[in-house]
């Protein structure tokens, strides 16, 4: 181990060196509240996760389990999380849209492999030195569920970004990940979370509230507001069919809002100087020359 990178309620992350292969790795240690037998389901899902390869997904190299903990050995990404990036300064629309596109590519790749992430949030989106998006914590929700890391009756995920149906105990589907991507997009475009509250419990109580309206923060972005509302729809069937479809709707909406702004500027522009030059000059002005 070289140093601790961070810690949370479910795990601690350390930077380490793989001496055999001469590379830096991130080791996530999941800490259960009590020892539990590792379920075959966990081993199966970790094997699937380790077989995945995508430029926008952090690679899982290995998973080691014993009676006390689970160690996930992952690709190390030297860069901030999207959560930290958003806290530093606002994101311009093009940068935000680029992040959504990359995140959508990663999500749809996972879904094509039969994998649901279940905990897509800004803290799980890493940005490397070149700004490339890397989605991490793949399979951590499955690991928690399989090993009894969370307390009985708790909900796996982060309330601010969880789809409403998950609070009802429904099984996570691709539509839940699409909702999470829309929630991240809303936050990047508005500077506010799509679902807010003082505590996780307070946030959870608002799970069935109508989708927030981006126009409260950006009145000019009516098309973008509508596209985000579809992504944040309470009914999974009303959301775009894929994360890429959501990204495409957001891109088209941004273009539509820009065209609308340009048309408004033309309609409200003052008369041209050429027209002013054609007006007759009063004789009183001429006589004073």
* 237: CATH: 1.10.510.10
Residue 7 domain flag: no
Query: What is the distance between the alpha carbons of residues 18 and 24, in angstroms, rounded to a whole number?
Result: 6
pLDDT over 50 (residue 148): no
Contact criterion met (CB below 8 Å) for 185 and 100? yes
Residue 13 domain flag: no
Residue 48 pLDDT level (bands cut at 50, 70, 90):
confident
Beta bridge partners of 27: 14, 73
Which tens digits make up the pLDDT trace of 206-265? 888 999 999 999 999 999 999 999 999 999 999 999 999 999 999 999 999 999 776 666
pLDDT given for residue 66 in this prediction: 64
pLDDT over 50 (residue 94): yes
pLDDT given for residue 137 in this prediction: 80
Residue 102 domain flag: yes
Catalytic member of 18, 66, 67, 119: 119
pLDDT given for residue 288 in this prediction: 47
Residue 121 domain flag: yes
The alpha-carbon radius of gyration of the chain (Å, integer) is 25
Residue 132 domain flag: yes
Residue 23 domain flag: no
pLDDT given for residue 216 in this prediction: 95
Query: What is the distance between the alpha carbons of residues 229 and 212, in angstroms, rounded to a whole number?
Result: 7
Question: Is 213 marked active-site?
Answer: no
- Name the residue range of residue 247's domain: 78-266
Which tens digits make up the pLDDT trace of 1-20? 678 877 666 677 888 888 87
Mean pLDDT value across the chain: 81
Q: Nearest CA to 181 among 92, 116, 129? A: 116
Kindly report the pTM of this predicted structure.
Answer: 0.81
Residue 53 domain flag: no
Q: How many domains does the chain have?
A: 1
More confident residue, 281 or 139: 139
Contact criterion met (CB below 8 Å) for 145 and 184? no
Which tens digits make up the pLDDT trace of 177-189? 999 999 999 999 9
More confident residue, 41 or 128: 128
pLDDT over 70 (residue 268): no
Residue 45 domain flag: no
pLDDT given for residue 183 in this prediction: 97
């Amino acid at each position: 181990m070289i140093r601790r990178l961070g810690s949370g309620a479910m795990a601690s992350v350390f930077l380490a060196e793989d001496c055999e292969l001469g590379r830096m790795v991130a080791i996530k240690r999941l800490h259960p509240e009590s020892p539990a037998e590792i379920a075959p389901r966990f081993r199966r899902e970790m094997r699937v996760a380790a077989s995945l390869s995508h430029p926008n997904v952090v690679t899982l190299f290995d998973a080691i389990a014993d009676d006390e903990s689970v160690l996930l050995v992952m690709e190390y990404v030297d860069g901030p999380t999207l959560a930290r990036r958003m806290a530093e300064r606002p994101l311009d629309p093009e940068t935000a849209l680029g992040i959504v596109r990359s995140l959508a590519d990663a999500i749809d790749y996972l879904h094509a492999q039969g994998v649901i992430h279940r905990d897509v949030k800004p803290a799980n989106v890493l940005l490397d030195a070149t700004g490339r998006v890397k989605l991490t914590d793949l399979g951590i929700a499955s690991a928690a569920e399989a090993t009894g890391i969370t307390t009985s009756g708790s909900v796996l995920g982060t309330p601010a970004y969880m789809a409403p149906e998950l609070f009802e105990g429904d099984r996570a589907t691709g539509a839940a990940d699409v909702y999470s991507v829309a929630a991240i997009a809303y936050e990047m475009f508005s500077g506010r979370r799509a679902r807010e509250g003082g505590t996780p419990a307070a946030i959870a109580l608002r799970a069935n509230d109508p989708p927030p309206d981006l126009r409260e923060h950006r009145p000019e972005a009516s098309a973008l507001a509508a596209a985000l509302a579809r992504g944040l729809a309470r009914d999974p069937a009303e959301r775009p069919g894929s994360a890429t479809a959501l990204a495409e709707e957001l891109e088209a909406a941004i273009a539509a809002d820009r065209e609308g702004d340009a048309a408004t500027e033309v309609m409200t522009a003052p008369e041209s100087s050429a027209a002013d030059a054609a007006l007759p000059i009063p004789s009183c002005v001429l006589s004073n020359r």
